[in-house]
Amino acid sequence: MIRRRAILYGEVQGVGMRMSCAREARARGVNGWIRNAPDGTVEAELEGDRSAVDGLLTWLYAGPPAARVLSVDVTELATQGEVGFDVR
């Protein structure tokens, strides 16, 4: 189990990023949350099996069709045993 924080930069708000990510996370069995930040970025914390989290992180670099992801900052966090995936 691993946990990662991802901060997405670019045109990432108002393009379906949060809902698309939630669908992808649930399909992959990744737990955590995603939210819009006041500075225009999107923040997510992802927890689960390494391959599932890494796969979702790869998906985040592209996002849904309307998104224009310029960069993603990823940091390692301690696992929390979170269950489910929330859109905040």
Domain that holds residue 67: 2-78
Q: Which sequence positions are flagged as catalytic?
A: 18, 36
Other CB atoms closer than 10 Å to residue 39's CB: what's the count?
9
Helix or strand (DSSP H, E) at 71? strand 68-77
Give residue 28's pLDDT: 98
Q: Which two tokens stand for residue 6?
A: 């991802």
Domain CATH code at residue 55: 3.30.70.100
Give residue 36's pLDDT: 98
For residue 65, tell me if it sits in a domain: yes
For residue 83, tell me if it sits in a domain: no
At 55, the pLDDT band (50, 70, 90 cuts) reads very high
Give residue 19's pLDDT: 97
For residue 87, tell me if it sits in a domain: no
Tally the domains of the chain: 1
User: What's the average model confidence in pLDDT over 14-38?
Assistant: 98
Of all residues in the chain, the percent with pLDDT exceeding 70 is: 100
